[in-house]
């Protein structure tokens, strides 16, 4: 039976935010394809070991992420340095999949020189951290993100030690292929959906969701509150945890916006399906947003800006508006437009097999020893 080590930057369960959604559903799809998964996961915060992963993994090792590290490497990498991880990887000869640049501390280690090593790139990390810094106000976090972006740019060269770099979007594939002679392949994001499941009944509200403590989601929600909904007669529900004071104040001043916190993934999915329009603005055009994929499978009309779909090949699956006034006008139009069977068929034709997790898992399976 084929086997694979997966080194994850975080405990991938529960699969409740972008990066770990991709990791968890890749593990699940590989398990269903008959691969024995040896999972190595770094833990921190409130994401404790969970028995659910035992249903899909042959072996699980957890490692605490370091809180304080003095290193010239990026903190996201140096804080995931654990000698026991290297020792566990050396117990056999199975191929290794490193999830994101975060987990590449041992990618160039001499002891792994002859091993099959792959890296799944979730973003062009130096660009991602640079853009994140622009979403932050003045303070330590902004400085930290800027420093990480500076350190990540040269550190990315460690990717030359991988046989295959798996890009998450066509744009990232092109970007990485310009810099590395390794084989750079496209591996679309993994997710929970197995088929298009769109409810065509009219929903009398628009919906935006995301982890609101994250700078890019905070900026997007503020844009909707201050620049879009001030010009719209439609009703908007914003859902997510960690809303900052400035966002809560902006929402309180708007009679047509409601904030919902503490919702489960099931409740979020129900709102995606009920809303007549899912709003998808972003000011961080990196990688591909898992919320976009989830909405493609479950949501009716999708209204995004160009940054959300740039380089994804999915522009034809959404309606696009960029300025606040443009988005408000298009939102009000779509709120009066039924989502019909022909719209569902168009979605199926565009999304189709591109995000078929079983098919994409088989690409990996075929390459395993």
Which pLDDT value is given to residue 313? 86
- Domain at 330, CATH number: 3.40.50.2000
pLDDT for residue 354: 87
> Does 363 reside within a domain?
no
Q: Which two tokens stand for residue 145?
A: 């993100």
* Cis peptide upstream of residue 243 (ω within 30 degrees of 0): no
Number of domains the chain is built from: 2
Q: Which of 146, 167, 192 is at the close of a domain?
A: 192
Rounded CA-CA distance 128/113 in Å is 29
- Residue 117: beta bridge partners? 96
Question: Does residue 269 share a domain with residue 338?
Answer: yes
Domain shared by 81 and 16, yes or no:
yes
Tell whether 131 and 262 lie within a shared domain.
no
Judging by beta carbons within 10 Å of its beta carbon (0-12, 13-18, 19+), is residue 314 exposed, middle or buried?
A: buried
Q: Are residues 305 and 169 in the same domain?
A: no
Whether residue 279 lies inside any domain: the answer is yes
Look at residue 368 and tell me if it is in a domain.
no
**Buried residues in 260-272 as b, exposed as e (16+ CB within 10 A):** beeeeeeebbebb
201 lies in a domain?
no
Residues 332 and 222 in one domain: yes
Give the list of residues 6+ apart from residue 307 with CB closer than 8 angstroms, or none: 281, 282, 283, 284, 285
What is the predicted pLDDT for the residue at 278?
Answer: 98
Q: Which of 169, 192, 215 marks a domain boundary?
A: 192
b/e per residue 332-348 (b: at least 16 CB within 10 A): bebbeeebeeeeeeebe
Q: Give yes or no: residues 221 and 185 share one domain.
A: no
What was the pLDDT predicted at 295?
Answer: 96
Range of the domain at 266: 206-354
pLDDT at 329: 98
Considering the domain architecture, whether residues 170 and 271 belong to the same structural domain is answered as no
Q: Are residues 179 and 302 in the same domain?
A: no
In a domain, 310, yes or no: yes
Give yes or no: residues 85 and 214 share one domain: no
Domain annotation covers residue 229? yes
Nearest partner of 192 among 33, 357, 351, judged by Cα: 357
Residue 183 lies in a domain: yes
Q: Do 270 and 134 share a domain, yes or no? A: no
pLDDT in tens, the chain (369 residues): 899 999 999 999 999 887 899 999 999 999 999 999 999 999 998 888 989 999 999 999 999 999 888 889 999 999 999 999 999 999 999 999 999 999 999 999 999 999 999 999 999 999 999 988 887 777 898 999 999 999 999 999 999 999 999 999 999 999 999 999 889 999 999 999 988 889 888 899 999 999 898 888 999 999 999 999 999 999 999 999 999 999 999 999 999 999 999 999 899 999 999 999 999 999 988 878 889 999 999 999 999 999 999 888 899 999 999 999 999 999 999 999 999 999 999 999 888 778 999 999 999 999 997
pTM: 0.90
Residues 6+ apart with CB under 8 A from 138: none
Domain assignment present for 211: yes
Residue showing tokens 């995931």: 80
Q: Phi first, then psi: what are they for 201, rounded to 5°?
A: -65, 145
110 and 81 inside one domain: yes
The whole-angstrom distance between residue 65's C-alpha and the CA centroid of its chain comes to 20
Instruction: Note whether 12 and 160 are same-domain residues.
Output: yes
* Single residue among 164, 192, 220 that ends a domain in this structure: 192
pLDDT score of 215: 83
**Hey, which bits of 213-356 come out as E strands?**
236-239, 257-260, 277-280, 301-304, 319-320
């Amino acid at each position: 039976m084929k086997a694979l080590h997966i080194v994850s930057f975080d405990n991938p369960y529960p699969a409740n935010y972008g990066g770990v959604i991709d990791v968890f559903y890749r593990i699940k799809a590989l398990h269903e394809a008959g691969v024995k998964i040896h999972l190595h996961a770094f833990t921190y915060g409130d994401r404790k070991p969970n028995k659910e992963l035992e249903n899909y993994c042959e072996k699980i090792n957890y490692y605490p992420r370091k809180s304080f590290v003095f290193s010239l490497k990026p903190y996201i990498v140096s804080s995931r340095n654990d000698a026991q991880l290297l020792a566990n990887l050396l117990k056999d000869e199975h191929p290794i999949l490193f999830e994101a640049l975060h987990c590449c501390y041992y990618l160039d280690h001499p002891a792994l020189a002859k091993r099959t090593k792959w890296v799944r790139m979730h973003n062009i990390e130096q660009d991602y951290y640079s853009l994140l810094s622009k979403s932050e106000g003045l303070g330590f976090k902004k400085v930290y993100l800027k420093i990480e972006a500076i350190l990540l740019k040269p550190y990315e060269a460690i990717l030359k030690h991988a046989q295959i770099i798996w890009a998450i979007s066509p744009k990232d594939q092109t970007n990485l292929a310009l810099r590395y002679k390794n084989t750079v392949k496209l591996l679309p994001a993994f997710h929970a959906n197995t088929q298009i499941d769109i409810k065509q009944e009219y929903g009398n509200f628009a919906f935006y969701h995301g982890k609101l403590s994250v700078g890019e989601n905070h900026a997007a929600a503020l844009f909707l509150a201050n620049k879009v909904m001030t010009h719209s007669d439609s009703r908007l529900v914003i859902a997510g945890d960690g809303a900052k004071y400035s966002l809560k104040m902006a929402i309180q001043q708007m009679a047509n916006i409601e904030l919902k916190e503490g919702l489960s993934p099931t409740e979020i999915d129900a709102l995606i399906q009920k809303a007549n329009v899912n709003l998808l603005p972003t000011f961080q055009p990196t990688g591909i947003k898992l919320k976009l994929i989830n909405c493609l499978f479950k949501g009716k009309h999708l209204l995004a800006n160009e940054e959300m779909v740039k380089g994804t090949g999915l522009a034809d699956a959404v309606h696009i508006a960029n300025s606040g006034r443009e988005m408000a006008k298009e939102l009000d139009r779509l709120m009066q437009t039924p989502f019909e069977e022909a719209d569902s068929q168009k979605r199926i034709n565009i999304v189709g097999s591109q995000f078929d997790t079983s098919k994409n898992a088989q690409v990996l399976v075929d390459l395993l020893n």
